[in-house]
Amino acid sequence: MSAHHPTAVLRAISTVLPDIVIEQDRVRDIFSGQEGLSRLGQRLVATAFDSSGIDTRHTVITDFGDNNPDARGVAPAYIDEATGALHAPGTKARNDHYIAAAGPMFVEAARRAIHAADGIEAADVTHVITVSCTGFFAPGPEYLIARNLGLDPAVQRYHLGFMGCYAALPALRMAAQFCAADPEAVVLVVSVELCTLHLHASDDPDLIVANSLFGDAGVAGIVSRRPLGAGERGLRLDRSETAVTPVGEGDMAWTIGDEGFDMVLSTAVPQIIGEHIAAALRPLVSSVPELASALAEDGLGRAVARWAVHPGGRSIVDKVEESLGLEPQQVAPSRDVLRAIGNVSSATVMVVMQRNLEAYAEPGDRLIALAFGPGLTVESTLMTVVTG
């Protein structure tokens, strides 16, 4: 067996998607057809949905499926079958739906990641880190994973909750720190977000934008310093940083309302990210002379081949591409993911990493992951594509 990696590697990234697929045009028509929506609201819905860069999303809401099952279980009604009117279930009803739907997705994503990691068994897992901002329950998802997959009862369990879209990158940083402390550590990182549970009709521009973007998904990966299997690809976690932009604290927020969680996502967010992304990346690349020089000379896109930009929306990807001088192919994985599943909050950036590994990256490529959330917080991670 070859020696352990000196630095932790993210491997076996695995995605779980709900079975129900919704076409963006159909959801647009549902929201624009709501009684009481103003003319301005109707125009905003059409603009937001049509310019989103999204073709399809996945949801756990059976009402959006072609065949609405008779047995709803704990799920509340979101759409009136006769009139097409959107209902407004209370936060408790939505959270109960989250508990019923998210739990199995956490377990399944974790199971797939363990199965995909060459030489890793459930008994090897030493730490579980779960991530979610779209619901709450305790004992939590990290407990369900440990119980249902038969992990060691002493496995260390952590949950990062309600941090928003950037939270997967702090989870990976935490996992790398565990591996730095213990070369034998095997850390399971799992994110599940059921964003569509919080959709509701509104004239509010921020909520209209949120309604046009968010979908449901789960993703998991293994972080360890153990050797990769023959031909197995992974992402070596070289370093990570957190930055907060000097403006924008009120432009992105996530609060709990009486009818689900309320997203504030102002139209100023892409511009703020575009103006401050270079400064936010400076701490990440400062210890790598050639990357620091490239950033100073507006050439970071030439020095770093691959990018996993969190597609918070099409305009966010546009601004990052423009501000950093990236080539279209470098943000293609982000656009691929946005087009197919929308913005799935904290799970998105790991899905974009998976897309990079499967379709774009080559061994030895550097990759920078970027994710954005309330604050405005910019999380960044520098990685290298490695293979067994």
* Residues designated as active site: 165
260-265 and 56-59 beta bridge pairing: unpaired
Alpha helices in the chain (DSSP H): 24-32, 39-50, 91-116, 141-148, 168-181, 205-213, 269-285, 289-296, 300-303, 314-324, 328-341, 348-359
Distance CA 257, CA 206 (A): 14
In the three-class reduction of DSSP (H, G, I as helix; E, B as strand; rest coil), residue 384 is classed as strand
Distance CA 185, CA 176 (A): 9
Distance CA 364, CA 267 (A): 37
C-alpha radius of gyration, the chain, whole number: 20
**Tally of CB atoms within 10 A around 294:** 17
Distance CA 40, CA 45 (A): 9
**Tally of CB atoms within 10 A around 383:** 27
Q: Which of 16, 273, 20 is nearest to 165 (CA)?
A: 273
Distance CA 222, CA 191 (A): 12
Please state, in angstroms and as integers, the Cα–Cα distance from residue 287 to each residue in 147, 240, 298, 385, following that order.
41, 11, 17, 19
